[in-house]
Structure 1
Amino acid sequence: MDPFADTLQRLREAFDSGCTRPAEFRAAQLKGLSRFLQENKQLLQEALAQDLHKSAFESEVSEISISQNEINSALRNLRAWMKDEKVPRNLATQLDSAFIRKEPFGLVLVIAPWNYPLNLSLEPLVGALAAGNCVVLKPSEVSKSTEKVLAEVLPRYLDQSCFAVVLGGPQETGQLLEHKFDYIFFTGSPRVGKIVMAAAAKHLTPVTLELGGKNPCYVDDNCDPQTVANRVAFFRYFNSGQTCVAPDYILCSPETQARLLPALQSAITRFYGEDPQSSPDLGRIISEKNFQRLRGLLSCGHVAIGGQTDESDRYIARPEHPLRCEQSSPSLPGRTAQRVMLLPSRLGPGTSAPTVLVGVQETEPVMQEEIFGPILPIMNVRSLDEAVEFIRHREKPLALYAFSNSSQVVKRVLAQTSSGGFCGNDGFMHMTVASLPFGGVGASGMGSYHGKFSFDTFSHHRACLLRRPGLEKVYALRYPPHTPRNLRVLLAAMETRSCSCALL
């Protein structure tokens, strides 16, 4: 039995009916997404706390608010994005209408990861719905609580004839990918990205792959070490380092390293206290598998800061959550019994303290794989030239960072390297600018999204030319028998020019 056949058939029939194409329908879907966020904010915060121990601040900033902003932008600009785009014409088509029409692809598949399970599900979904597609959303089975909310609550806010959530692990995802989709949007690891791309190739399905990689962070000698430490530590340890655009390693001189280490220690202590494990602002590692992998990386180089781990760490998420079981509290004197909603105690993933490694070698595992955890290696380079060469001889990263009081140094790193995105003197703030595309290059991915780029990603840009039925005598110079004169006229007419003169 194919578990997905009926669902996909239903969605295809809905798309073929044309119901998703009107702007009014698309706007209604986006407004439904907005209500989902607004009416289930606490539920979502608790699910994120269960999955990743995310604080309310992290959940709001990196999951809920950023998704809401994406929806608001799409609603404000939807009709403008949908308009046919007029294009310049050549002399031969001056009397015609030439334009680009943005059409929905049809049935699209969005495969989301676990590290930002709400944001990275909804942001591409916004673009897909705004573009008028029917959508299958496959949330990560690793972030189980958020997956449950997306599967059980989100469909109530959308037209279920045009939207579906499918569940399962790698086996089910493999079965799903055997089907033909009109577009696939995948966020995850390069290893799985290759599997998705191979499956899409069988059907010649276009894809966007949002992958990862090792994001370099160059720190120049000419800098304020405490400012750099504050910004690098914040973005490295945000979401316990489980961010695809987090600074993955620092390149700096030995002298800058000596100044940077006490500044990093100061920043980490101010952010998370003397005992980071007890900090409400430090997340948890998502799974036992990832925890063990990260613990193995601690053997690389030398631990300069942190390094403590706790495999048995547990936590209890906040109360009042529809996903929990109900129990009656004991009656207290003078009070009636109340219904208290308790979350079951959950075996939380392990904790790993914010860690800095020094003396690491390029050949060690911590410099060969994306870390995806609260570990920051520092590698020494003798000069900016050496740092640039080091970056250029590795796969192109998803993001690249450069810190310096000299704008010329930052601009030089930008000019002599390639990456999906770049930010000078800060962490991944470029992701918050909706007018900038977000995406990788080379091994870190292909395609982009955010804001209008999301709408364009999920739209087929159809080239259209509407000609007049008359003027056959003018157009006849194309027909045989051909002459040198007709050829000269045709070549001149087909050249795109800025003039608006009429066809002679």
Structure 2
Amino acid sequence: MKTMQLEANASAIVKEQRLFFNSGKTKDVTFRKASLKRLYQEIIARETEICEAVKRDFNKSEFEALLSETQFTLAELKHTINHIKKWSRRKSVLPSLANFPSSDAIYKEPYGSVLVIAPWNYPFNLAMAPLIGAVAAGNTACIKPSELTPNTSAIIREIVTAVFEPGHVQVAEGGVEVAQDLLAQRWDYIFFTGSVQVGKIVYKAAAEHLTPVTLELGGKNPCIIDATANIQLTARRLVWGKFLNGGQTCIAPDYLLVERSVKDDLVKAIREEVTKAYGEDPQRSPDYPRIVNKKQFDRLNAMLDGESLLMGGVTNRDDRYIAPTLLDEPDLDSEVMKDEIFGPILPVLTWDKEKEIHHIISRYEKPLAFYVFSRKTRKAKRIMSQYNFGGGCINDTIIHIANKRLPFGGVGNSGIGAYHGKKSFDIFTHHKPVVNRGTWMDVPIRYAPYSKKTNLAKHIRKLF
């Protein structure tokens, strides 16, 4: 009975969304812009509540919540509101001689009804960011927030209900069963952020209806540090990037590849920077988040078994606390080196020659992020060019997502498609080509009979 009810609810959402889309309201750019402006004002008005909700879910500090949840979303909204009319305009393109006389253009057309499945690690930001693009492009949308962050999920529902008309944007709360029933429906586009394993499930479900998808996944993100790097600054930026959000960030450094001669100095500097950031006891720091739930805690805690510690290793299951932890040269076949860690545990591996770096990195699928710390700019750029990955930084971590003019997304196992800024608008838009052919002239070469045109056809490529 419960399963049938869920299926009915999912089906009803899709039906309501299609009715709203077919009304034509979302085709009006003024309507879209007004909706986004209301969303902007509602987030401003409820920013403190949003931060408190994230705090209750996994102890994220107000500063981190502002930085990575609300302010990031507001910046994306403002940029989209300012550019939506320009992005939505029909774009004229140079016509082909083969179609002379004609005028050619690309029409910007929404897909229709969009499903956004959001993760728990940045529960507000990663629900809102794709929604902004979907609404800006003229789609209706259904958000499935994570059930692991119920407080944030609830406030997302409240905001959406206050801002959008029924049928335009809706929120479907619940666990795995709700996600499964939503995926069983026919959507015009699906946007998923989460693990590789679940991403494959989403992709299979989408394939049943030939629904296009964007998958924002993850991977084992390497961080290479050579002997020329500014060690103290490197440590500070590593501590921020790795332990932000309690290490539960898809683009956090997953393991360090440190030139052997600077390993000890780097470890010492990281210890110092952790103390500066979180004090002698990070568990007492108001700025250090917790693991989202006990299932994730147990998964991470198991990775510490039998490993040699350079720092940290303190855990508390009742508090879902894992200290900022460095592991010393774990075996490449160990549990911690098999898959993405997604927590405050950072393995430290060493190398003497660059070929050792390649040996380790090549064991894994293409990562979502990639980092190099070095004062040798040419060398760093060469390494960046050598490997396939979603995006990355030289001499910093994570900050490549802060530039809305840069696309954000994975490649291969770390994802399909990219968004942020105009890219968010583009992925939810069908770019429809239209040729407007003139009638005052009609070159007869393309028409049968062809018997006397073969030699001419051998040069027709010049007209395309």
The answer to whether TM tops 0.5 is: yes
Q: Distance in 2 between matches of 1:168 and 1:251?
A: 40
- Percentage of identical aligned residues: 41
Consecutive unaligned residues in structure 2, runs of 5 or more: none
Matched, 1:256 2:226: no
Matched, 1:397 2:403: no
User: What is the aligned partner in structure 2 of residue 99 from structure 1?
Assistant: 105
User: What is the aligned partner in structure 1 of residue 449 from structure 2?
Assistant: 481
**Residues 109 and 197 of structure 1: is their aligned pair in 2 closer, same or farther, counting only changes over 3 Å?**
same
User: What is the aligned partner in structure 2 of residue 17 from structure 1?
Assistant: 23
Aligned-residue CA RMSD (Å): 1.4
Task: Tell whether the 8 Å contact from 1:438 to 1:450 is kept in structure 2 after alignment.
Answer: yes
Task: Tell whether the 8 Å contact from 1:129 to 1:135 is kept in structure 2 after alignment.
Answer: yes
Tell me the TM-score normalised to structure 2 length.
Answer: 0.96
1:152-201 CA distance string (max 9 Å, x none): 33221112231110111111111111100000000000000000000000
User: What is the aligned partner in structure 2 of residue 140 from structure 1?
Assistant: 146
Q: Which amino acid aligns with 1:363?
A: D
Matched, 1:431 2:437: no
Q: Distance in 1 between matches of 2:95 and 2:392?
A: 36
Secondary structure at the counterpart of residue 20 of structure 1: helix
Higher helix content, 1 or 2: 2
> What is the deviation of 1:382?
2.0
> What is the deviation of 1:222?
1.1
User: What is the aligned partner in structure 2 of residue 363 from structure 1?
Assistant: 333
Task: Tell whether the 8 Å contact from 1:220 to 1:384 is kept in structure 2 after alignment.
Answer: no
> What is the deviation of 1:393?
3.6
User: What is the aligned partner in structure 2 of residue 27 from structure 1?
Assistant: 33
**Residues 437 and 368 of structure 1: is their aligned pair in 2 closer, same or farther, counting only changes over 3 Å?**
same
User: What is the aligned partner in structure 1 of residue 9 from structure 2?
Assistant: 3
**Residues 15 and 253 of structure 1: is their aligned pair in 2 closer, same or farther, counting only changes over 3 Å?**
same
Q: Which amino acid aligns with 2:184?
A: E
Task: Tell whether the 8 Å contact from 2:13 to 2:167 is kept in structure 1 after alignment.
Answer: no
User: What is the aligned partner in structure 2 of residue 328 from structure 1?
Assistant: none
The size of the alignment, in residue pairs, is: 458
User: What is the aligned partner in structure 2 of residue 333 from structure 1?
Assistant: none
User: What is the aligned partner in structure 2 of residue 83 from structure 1?
Assistant: 89
Task: Tell whether the 8 Å contact from 2:100 to 2:437 is kept in structure 1 after alignment.
Answer: no
**After superposition, where does 1:313-462 map in structure 2 within 5 Å?**
313=319, 350-462=320-432
Q: Distance in 1 between matches of 2:331 and 2:389?
A: 23
> What is the deviation of 1:392?
3.0
Deviates more, 1:447-456 or 1:86-95: 86-95
Matched, 1:296 2:302: yes
Secondary structure at the counterpart of residue 179 of structure 1: coil
**After superposition, where does 1:113-132 map in structure 2 within 5 Å?**
113-132=119-138
Secondary structure at the counterpart of residue 28 of structure 1: helix
Q: Distance in 2 between matches of 1:100 and 1:490?
A: 30
> What is the deviation of 1:39?
0.9
> What is the deviation of 1:5?
1.9
Matched, 1:159 2:127: no
Task: Tell whether the 8 Å contact from 1:478 to 1:490 is kept in structure 2 after alignment.
Answer: no
> What is the deviation of 1:33?
1.3
> What is the deviation of 1:389?
3.7
Larger radius of gyration: 1
Tell me the TM-score normalised to structure 1 length.
Answer: 0.89
Secondary structure at the counterpart of residue 68 of structure 1: helix
Secondary structure at the counterpart of residue 360 of structure 1: coil
> What is the deviation of 1:256?
1.8
Deviates more, 1:381-390 or 1:226-235: 381-390
> What is the deviation of 1:311?
1.5
Consecutive unaligned residues in structure 1, runs of 5 or more: 314-349, 497-504
